[in-house]
Amino acid sequence: MPTLLDIQYNNIVERIKSSKFRDPIKDFMDDNCNYFLDIDENTPEIYYCFDEFKKLIDSLGKKCCDEFNLTEEQFNSIIERGLKDPESNMYFEQLLSFKNFDYFKRLMIDRHYKIIQIIENEMYKKKIFKSKNEVEDDLIKAIEESKKT
């Protein structure tokens, strides 16, 4: 028979895997990743985003505590247990790593470039941009035309 701690642990694992927990994180990243370029310089906006992101993660953790009637100490012990659990440790590691600036910055840079790639792919599909081959073909035609004149 599962103990109260087992039930609480399972509830937290399910919550951090759920869209209710993950969607606000994804939305924040999508809304703010445009500040992040793959450069060494860290702007004030990047630090501000990081502070706001830590607040978001803390608020999501607090919501879990409130919803499942956990103290902060109980929540922290669940996190420690989760880090040792091979089936769910990646979720708990990710949760903790979000508070690491370098990890956060890398995630945001990756998300920024992924969104750019998605937008470019959609634009190519809609023929707003020409493909690389089409641009090369146009360039060859232009060179041939210029030779004729």
pLDDT tens for each residue of 98-120: 889 999 999 899 998 888 888 87
> What CATH number is attached to the domain comprising 19?
1.20.1520.10
pLDDT at res. 144:
63
Q: Is residue 117 part of a domain?
A: no
Q: Provide the domain limits for residue 105.
A: 4-112
Q: Is residue 47 part of a domain?
A: yes
The more confident residue out of 38 and 61 is 61
Q: Is residue 148 part of a domain?
A: no
pLDDT at res. 142:
61
Whose tokens are 């590691």? That residue is: 93
Q: Is residue 105 part of a domain?
A: yes
124: confidence class by pLDDT, cuts 50, 70, 90: confident
pLDDT at res. 28:
94
pLDDT at res. 78:
92
pTM of whole model > 0.85?
A: no
Instruction: Give the pLDDT confidence of 130-144 residue by residue, as tens digits.
Output: 666 665 666 566 666
Whose tokens are 């879990």? That residue is: 64
| CA distance linking residue 56 with residue 31, whole number of Å | 13
Beta-carbon count within 10 A of 53 CB: 20
Q: What is the DSSP string of 6-51?
A: HHHHHHHHHHHHSHHHHHHHHHHHHHHGGG--SSS---HHHHHHHH
Q: Is residue 129 part of a domain?
A: no
63: confidence class by pLDDT, cuts 50, 70, 90: very high
Q: Where are the alpha helices (DSSP H) in 85-149?
A: 89-97, 101-125, 132-148
Q: Is residue 131 part of a domain?
A: no
Domain count, the chain: 1
Exposed/middle/buried for 111, CB within 10 Å: 0-12, 13-18, 19+? middle
Ranges 58-62, 79-83, 136-140: which has the least confidence: 136-140
Distance of CA 32 to the CA centre of its chain: 10
Q: Is residue 14 part of a domain?
A: yes
Percent residues over pLDDT 70 in the chain: 85
Q: Is residue 126 part of a domain?
A: no
Q: Which residues contact 104 (CB under 8 A, 6 or more apart)?
A: 50, 53, 98
